[in-house]
Chain A
Amino acid sequence: MDKWMMYSEAGGHSFLKPLPLMQRRLVFCAFLLITGVCLSHLVKGNSKEQDRLISGTISDETGSLVAGVSVALKGAAVSTVSGEGGVYQLTISGDNPILVFTHVSYEPMEIPVGQQDKIDVVLTLASTSLEEVVLVGYGAQKKRDLTGSIATLSTTQLEDQPVGQIAQRIQGRIPGVQINQTSGQPGRGMSIRIRGAASVNAGNAPLYVIDDAPIVGDINSINPNEIESITVLKGPSAVSIYGSRAANGVVMITTKQAKPGSTSVQLNVNNGVGSIPDRGKPDLMNAKEFLQFQKELFEDRIRYEGYAGGVPELYQNPEAWTGPDTYWLDELLRQSYTGSYNLTLLASKDKFKSATNLGYYDEDGAMLNTGYERFSLRTNNEYRINDNIRIGLNIAPSYQSGQNFGTDGSYAIIFAALTSPPIFSPYETGPDGNRKLRFEGPGLFTQPNWVVTLEDAINREKRLSGLANAFVEVKFLQDFTFRSAASTDMGSQSTRIFNPSTVGNIWSPPPTIPSGSYTTWNHVSWLTENTLAYNKSFADKHNVEVLAGYSSQKYRQEYNTLSGSNFPDDLVTWIDAAAVKNGGSNLNEWSLLSMYSRLNYNYDGKYLLSASIRRDGSSRFGSQRRWGSFPSFSAGWIVSDEAFMEDLPAINYLKLRAEYGLVGNFNIGNYNQYGGVSTTNYVFGGALAQGRSLTSLGNAYLTWETTRGYDLGVDIAFFNNRLSLTADYYQKEVDDMLYQVDIPRGTGFGSIQSNIGSFKFWGYEFAVNSSNLTGAFTWNTDFNISFNRNRVMKLGTNDAPIDGVGEQGTYWKTEVGRPMGLFWGYVYDGIYMNQQELESQATHVTSDVGTVRYKDLNDDGEITPEGDRTFLGDPNPKFVLGLNNSFKYKGFDLSIAVAGAFGQDIINGQLEWSENQDGVFNVRKHLADRWRSEEDPGSGNNPRTTGPGNNFFRYASSRWIQDGSYLSIKNITLGYTVPAYNKLFSRARVYLSCQQAAVFTNYQGMNPEASIQGLNGLREGVDQGAYPVPRTFALGLDFTF
């Protein structure tokens, strides 16, 4: 409780600030509960009726009328079947009549009749059915008619997971989609890569489309509980309707809609507590070991460097130490907490359909004073004015607030936790009775008190987002549909940082001069889409769909930043109080015009053809080459519908698919076609002179990056559809890569934005869905596995490689003819054990007896950065997989989700500091066994602490490469559905859920998914100490009223 209080006070920006955190949660929960109960009574109501005639029409979600639906009065022997045109009539009587609609291809549906005498029904396809409708971008198709490589996932069954981000829930669920949790920072840290996508400068994030509207940011502001399903477009023809933005794949998100004819109120509450598992925590020296290490280090300094100061008193008698013995990492961690509260109102009556979700998510991170909370509201409404006109309006505001620090990476807080000497305690007090702000010791780096740093610093991010879209859809002349939609994506974000005098870093330990900054962004993106669709069947067997559309989008972002330094004290934390203030402000805009068209044709539902073309014009490209065209073709053959397949009754369904297409990537900065002119002021005669200089080179010929590829796939189902398999092979080549080509500095510039370079990608994906057991005990298994490969075909003007030049912090090199982003460095070869070895073997200028030895790869007798570095490993997994099992027995359900990646290497970059031999940090236990003299050379695997060779040991070498393969049990959930026993609710389920249950890996660090640069393809797989991921246990309740 104390720690939570501290977070609340230090953060100080919660919505319901006057209330302590626990009370706040309780109040919110109670509010949701009461609202839910009230609403459920409002929408239901009771009635008593005489015999009466009920009629209506039955259609499916695509608007087609459905015949052959059984319509029955619940609890009575009255029933009928819908006829041609989906029309039905039924005479009923009795109290509270309920109609039950059933059909083999559709989900059954019950509708209370109430006062109505005309009930139109829209049925939903059964989820396992091939008749299921799948979004394809600007429309929907039945699953069986798809010709592109598209994966769909219903996310409602993933809601049990006690996590705040949708990407966490879908890890391992979708073939071809690699998702890593690279950091455990609350509300952050997820990285997504579809089919190995990578680009040098144009980014590899997919395009996110929410309810048909492409958004400009990521999907983090969306409450995952608002989401009904996710569709991932992967194949070249599947994505090409999104043209210039589709090269990295398209993730389409459908938010929850009311089910036709039903009304319900759902309440979901989920509370979890977590902690960081011990596996992978570094084995650092304890206090006595550290003191001994220091003692020996000074002895060596006296011996080898002529140090005259003697061994400092502190280190002279390690065994007698009775002071603190601190494992710093644990001091910075605490129990984490997650809470998720969702209220969903679904109503569909007559011509009106509405779904509203109100959500609150709250997370206290596992690291002190970090956290995240999100309020979200979404309301999706649809009106049918008449049979031909539909109007929809979706509005989704959200508010996020988080407190996070620079925890990950070089010289950040995880680094500090590894290197702070164990002989200090964060709770030591100084002469003034306050906690010490810094720790000094003979020969040690002065370290801030990291607990105080975490608790006192302010780094508060707030984000207000608003997504809204509206559409009108008009059907006319029977076969035509016109749809006009407008959407906006708005957001404003602020980051306020204040570092009081008690906060510092390892370069400037406290007390420091307080400083702060306040940065805001706001963006508005608007988008209009107008589409015309034509849908017709001729002569029973020719089915044609034609779509044409036009869209325009404009994005505008304003950025303001203020920074303040030299605050007089810590009392006022806003920039107003700073003695020195600086500010800046700028604007970024882009626009996009697009025309697109698609033709789908199938003959007899067996032979499927699709062709599409999109033409995009973007403001981001050079005036000379602004427009690009992106055509695609695909075809499918449903073999199982052929007569000759009747001999193979085990195969229910077999479809072969092929697709080919072109897509683009426009993710570069906004004004790269122009050379940049920046302010470069100077002083003449004591007065400021305004200066301007060309600071970047422009390129008027800049254009899209084009990806050309094909995909071959097969979908097959056996044994009454109980076992289904999807397999795909794809190949794609990225040309005209948008690429900041390094050029000689003699030009005055470091690089020029160009369309040069080419990457090739290929791979296999398999997905298996199996109903292992049906009946009272059901068991379903979903398994998917993906093999992604790539090769660099061409790079800049001289095929100059990317990276691999510098030394410290240089982990990667991307070179023509190899996979991208390979690890690059020296080959570790032990140490020079004695003078004889030093003299007879190749050396670096800083080599000495007892220093690190790397292999002389070019055999020239010297170790140099030019000649003796090589490719050390590959961070790209050989394959990634997901395995999900679910079981049901009576009221019990159990699901286990597993995700894994295999065959990749990872660099344990934390070793750079935690094996540092300077003697200024705490180090790993094994360094006790290091070289001290020829007579006492230690294990032969740990270099000496003295001499000039220390920095050479800090460069990437094969010593840091480890096997990064892992298999992770992401979630286990055990649920029990309580039988409905009174009228308060219609369904109640209680469950226990464990997130990040177990990680199986040989990797020695805490998180095998860590990657300081995310899954970006070129610079992947280096763990520089990431915020660890907690294992969370949660209890959840779902009520439906």
Chain B
Amino acid sequence: MKKLTYFLLALVFCLGSCNEEFLQVTPESSITDANFFKEESHFEQALVGAYASLRGVKGSRSAHLMGEMRSDNTFYEYNSTDRGVQYISWELMDNFLDDASGPAISEMYNNCYTSISRATAIIDNIPKVELRPEFADRAIGEAKFIRALCYFDLVRFFGGVPLYLSQVTGANDAYLPRSTVEEVYQAIESDLKDATSKLAPPAFPQRGRASRGAAKMLLADVYLTQRKYDLAHVELSDVVNMGYDLLPDYASVFDLAHKNSIESIFEIQYQMGNQGQQSSFVYWFLPITDDASLLTGTQGRVASGGWNVPTQEMIDAYEPDDERLEGSISIIQGTGPVGQMVIESIHSPVGYTTPAGKRSYRFINKFLNPHSLINNTDDNFPVYRYSEALLAMAEVLNELNRAPEALPYLNRVRNRAGLPDIVETNQEGLRKIILHERRVELAFENKRWHDLVRSGTAIEVMNQNGTYLKPLFGHLPDNSYKVTQEKLVFAIPLREILIGNLEQNTAY
């Protein structure tokens, strides 16, 4: 009895001694904001994370939809057997019938801001920690490049968006109104000016990080879009002297052996395998089929395909003998209805006509490279290539009334594609030629929609595109492809209108 009493007393004492420490439970299997951003390695990890989130911005499904499918380059394969609401919303976007509730605009909007917040967290926390100055400069430079890249997409897709330039830590600083287009561009330019001064010039072979060359190319694109040709010329003059060059053969630019090549200014990195770093965007371009192994070498059903399908008009847009046509598009021939295509053979688009009893599918082949697992490819997605710098230089010089100086830049790109020199020096004529050259050189790299908008040709081209498509596709309703000035920006996602109390763009 006595022993028991002692025992009980001891027990009470022991348990009573538990204190606040007992309640201090921190996660063991993950780290938290409380112990992050404390040393250089954390900032390096955060940078890696900021780059990783760019995969949702560039070369993502919404980027193909908004940057390419919205334009005249590509359409989709109308699949009457799968009318999934998401698929219909993608079709509606292509057909200019989209509203504020579709998933693609949210993906783009959210992914841009995810990258922006990751970049901003780095920018805001660097001054709080003592770091090697050269590291701090590089980190700020890369972070600001990433932030500017995303705001540039946001402002072009959505117009003036809320400008989040410092880290959000709670609900109080979470609600910002929309800024004007000019304010957004100011912020982008300011970030990029800082980035170009802090980043080092490109070092070859490149590894996929943003360099001074990438920042200057982006800044030039930003100036070009705002028609600030003088400023763009200054930046591009630097870019063309940084050691970049064209590869000799257009089709090989997209080979796995030429990832981050001398032609690459900036590209989104992927690696196939089991580490979750693979790309798979090319599967979105394939037809839906139970077996695409003839093309891909991999077994299994391609359920996600049927999108970003080049139009015949796009094929026809290539000049005769343009090597880029075969390097960009091939024809898949087979049988079976949409959704159950049986692939039988692959053909060049040059002079192709579909034989009787067969069905054909126009396929973007430039990103298809050998891989061993389905939906697991090694391909990077290009953001800026040197040929774009050359074409931008040509455009800038033409707009500055220096057309003769523009021609060498343009012709370098054309010659690589096996095409003869252009001699046109009329500004208006050359402007059209350069725009067309961009269309075929940068095809399916999600440049076309922005090019149409900034060149002021979007309304005309897309209404024509509608006139072209409607007789071909009976399912297109009368009110599709009614493109107006207001439709040149997409809707702000409905969620942001309702939760953030933002103003909607006028067309939506």
Residues of A bordering B, CB below 8 Å: 301, 304-307, 389, 440, 442-446, 472, 474, 482, 484, 507-509, 512-513, 528, 530, 550, 552, 554, 566, 580-582, 585-587, 589-593, 617-619, 623, 626, 670-671, 674-678, 680-686, 688-694, 697-699, 741-750, 752, 754, 756, 796-798, 800-801, 804-808, 845-846, 848, 864-866, 916, 918-920, 946-948, 950-951, 954
Contacts and interface: CB of A to CB of B under 8 A. Distances in A.
Contacts of A589: 25, 28
B34, B80, B270, B498 interface centre (most CB from chain A within 10 Å): B80
A797 B171 contact: yes
B130 interface: no
B430 interface: no
Contacts of A866: 100, 494, 497-498, 504
Contacts of B340: 440, 446
Nearest to B21: A591
B28, B85, B477 interface centre (most CB from chain A within 10 Å): B85
Given A591-B25, A746-B161, A552 B174 contact: no
B4 interface: yes
A619 B274 CA distance: 36
B116 A748 contact: yes
Contact of A566 (B45, B175, B373): B373
B51, B121, B501 interface centre (most CB from chain A within 10 Å): B51
Interface in B113-135: 113-114, 116-118, 120-121
Interface in B203-248: 205-209
Smallest CB-CB A-B distances: 8 pairs: A748-B117, A306-B474, A691-B48, A675-B33, A693-B49, A685-B207, A674-B32, A744-B500
A918 B81 contact: yes
Interface string B276-319: 11000000000000000000000111010000000000000000
Nearest to A680: B49
Contacts of B475: 305, 946-948
A804 B502 CA distance: 17
25 contacts: A474-B8, A512-B300, A586-B29, A587-B29, A591-B23, A591-B25, A592-B23, A617-B20, A671-B32, A676-B30, A680-B53, A683-B270, A684-B209, A688-B277, A693-B52, A698-B33, A743-B171, A744-B162, A745-B109, A745-B493, A745-B495, A752-B171, A806-B495, A807-B85, A951-B83
Contacts of B301: 508-509, 512
A676 B168 contact: no
A333 B191 CA distance: 64
Interface of B: 1, 4, 8, 11-12, 15-16, 18, 20, 22-34, 36, 42, 45-53, 80-83, 85-86, 88-89, 91-92, 97, 99-101, 106, 109-110, 113-114, 116-118, 120-121, 161-162, 164, 168-171, 174-176, 205-209, 259-260, 269-271, 274-277, 299-301, 303, 337, 339-340, 373-374, 474-475, 477, 479, 493-502, 504
B117 A682 contact: no
A797 B175 contact: yes
A552 B8 contact: no
B373 A678 contact: no
A581, A589, A685 interface centre (most CB from chain B within 10 Å): A685
Contacts of B15: 528, 530, 550, 552
Nearest to A671: B27
Contact of A747 (B20, B33, B174): B174
B12 A918 contact: no
A747 B299 contact: no
Contacts of A587: 27-29
B303 A507 contact: yes
A753 B49 CA distance: 23
A581 B276 CA distance: 11
Contacts of A684: 48, 207-209, 269
Given A512-B301, A691-B48, A797-B175, A951 B85 contact: yes
Contacts of B47: 691
Nearest to B174: A743
Given A671-B26, A747-B164, A948-B97, A682 B8 contact: no
B100 A692 contact: no
A593, A691, A698, A846 interface centre (most CB from chain B within 10 Å): A691
A685 B162 CA distance: 34
A675 B20 CA distance: 21
A805 B47 CA distance: 33
A160 B348 CA distance: 75
Contacts of B34: 674-675, 698
A582 B20 CA distance: 38
Contacts of A688: 271, 275, 277
B80 A443 contact: yes
Contacts of B106: 745
Nearest to A440: B340
B91 to A, nearest CB: 8
Contacts of B33: 674-677, 694, 698
Contacts of A618: 23
Given A589-B25, A677-B32, A691-B46, 5 more contacts: A445-B82, A684-B209, A693-B46, A796-B171, A918-B81
Given A442-B337, A742-B499, A744-B500, A694 B121 contact: yes
Nearest to B120: A748
A287 B120 CA distance: 61
Contacts of A954: 85
A484 B12 contact: yes
Contacts of B276: 681
Contacts of A865: 99-101, 494
Contacts of B303: 507-508
Contacts of A580: 274, 373
A582, A590, A686, A756 interface centre (most CB from chain B within 10 Å): A686
Contact of A619 (B24, B97, B493): B24
A697 B499 contact: no
A216 to B, nearest CB: 15
Given A585-B29, A746-B113, A552 B18 contact: yes
Given A744-B496, A747-B168, A845-B99, A389 B208 contact: no
A682 B81 contact: no
Nearest to A949: B477
Given A444-B81, A587-B28, A593 B169 contact: no
Given A513-B299, A674-B34, A948-B475, A301 B80 contact: yes
Contacts of B176: 744, 746
Nearest to A675: B33
Nearest to A752: B171
Given A697-B170, A954-B85, A747 B97 contact: no
Contacts of B101: 805-807, 865
B32 A676 contact: yes
Contact of B31 (A304, A444, A677, A744): A677
Given A513-B299, A744-B162, A865-B99, A920 B208 contact: no
Given A305-B475, A587-B28, A748-B117, A691 B49 contact: yes
Contacts of A552: 15, 18, 22
Nearest to B32: A674
A682 B206 CA distance: 15
Nearest to A797: B171
Contacts of A946: 475
Contacts of B499: 742-744, 798, 800, 805
Given A693-B118, A806-B101, A951-B89, A670 B271 contact: no
B49 A692 contact: yes
A678 B501 CA distance: 30
A683 B81 contact: no
Given A681-B276, A682-B51, A920-B83, A798 B501 contact: yes
A890 to B, nearest CB: 53
A808 B494 CA distance: 14
B81 A948 contact: no
A947 B477 contact: yes
Contacts of B209: 684
